[in-house]
Structure 1
Amino acid sequence: MATRHQVRQSVISLLYAFELNSQNNVFVDEILDEKKIRNEQKKFTLNLYHGILDNLNNIDETLNSFLNDNQITALGHIERAILRLGAYELLFTDTPSAIVINEAIELAKELANDNSPKFINGVLDALIKAKK
């Protein structure tokens, strides 16, 4: 059974694939099968993924307000996906903010460049503070 961390890795993969080929959703089942995401974890993964896509404009507008001179579209695909997942969980789920931040940092350490964990932490931390 996949862990929640593996589920979040899968969501990042789905978001990345979506950006590269948004016309074709065939990749969804392929990615989930490859990562052995099944049953309840598959449901959780798809809820996160579709929740992000359904709220993408709102998430991006919110993130843009914390990116100073940048826009979310100027970031790398992986950093953008991690920030979108983190922002979605902070804004639309009951997941504790400490878990969201920790997961985002771990995903950045695993998947992005060396500067990304600190950057992602800063953006999501600012979002948490503004939300209070």
Structure 2
Amino acid sequence: MAKSDTRKTATPEAGRTRARRNAMMVLYKVDLLPSGQVQDSLDAFESEHGFPLPRYARELVVGVSGNIERIDAELDSRLTGWSLGRLGAVERSIMRIAMYELLTADVPYQVVIDEAIELAKRYASPEAAKLVNGVLGTYVRQLNAGELDEKTAGDTE
């Protein structure tokens, strides 16, 4: 009798979780580089880690970078008593990815927010996770309550 293979198979969710983490790492570097060069950060990630950035992670990095003004405006308008510039680069990167997904991706908002909270807990702090939850949750509540024009809310072009 052959042994059964007990290795876990990769699920799309696991792949996207990893992609979000990798995208956060790249966007963190973009945020800290004086030039803010996306391609330099993508190249550095691949060189440091020895593997190409997964497709979804690359899509997130390029999408966030290409829509940064809109994403930052959405986040800034929901940061009560704070500004995006006062947050740490990790928190900014996490929230930018999540807001980009909320605006453009066909991913349930609960998944987007949960993933962002977990990234914040792991790479920032429990307080950062609460802030991420509050900001993203406010956006979703406003969208669901009809306070945001759905076409405008999802229009990043």
TM-score scaled by structure 2? 0.75
| Offset of residue 61 of structure 1 | 0.6
Aligned match for 1:29, one of 43, 47, 59: 43
Which structure has more helix as a fraction of its residues? 1
C-alpha distance 50-78 of structure 1, shift in aligned 2 (>3 A):
same
If asked which structure has higher relative contact order (CA below 8 Å, sep 6+), I would say: 1
C-alpha distance 26-94 of structure 1, shift in aligned 2 (>3 A):
same
Amino acid at match of 2:65: L
Give the aligned length: 129
TM-score scaled by structure 1? 0.88
Structure 1 gap ranges (5+): none
Q: Quick one: distance in 2 between partners of 1:79 and 1:36?
A: 25
Aligned match for 1:111, one of 114, 118, 123: 123
| Offset of residue 26 of structure 1 | 2.8
Alignment RMSD (CA, Å) = 1.9
In structure 2, what is the equivalent of residue 62 of structure 1?
Answer: 74
Q: Quick one: distance in 2 between partners of 1:117 and 1:62?
A: 18
SS in 2 for 1:78: helix
C-alpha distance 9-35 of structure 1, shift in aligned 2 (>3 A):
farther
Worse-superposed segment, 21-30 or 91-100 = 21-30
Aligned identity (percent) is 33
Q: Quick one: distance in 1 between partners of 2:56 and 2:94?
A: 16
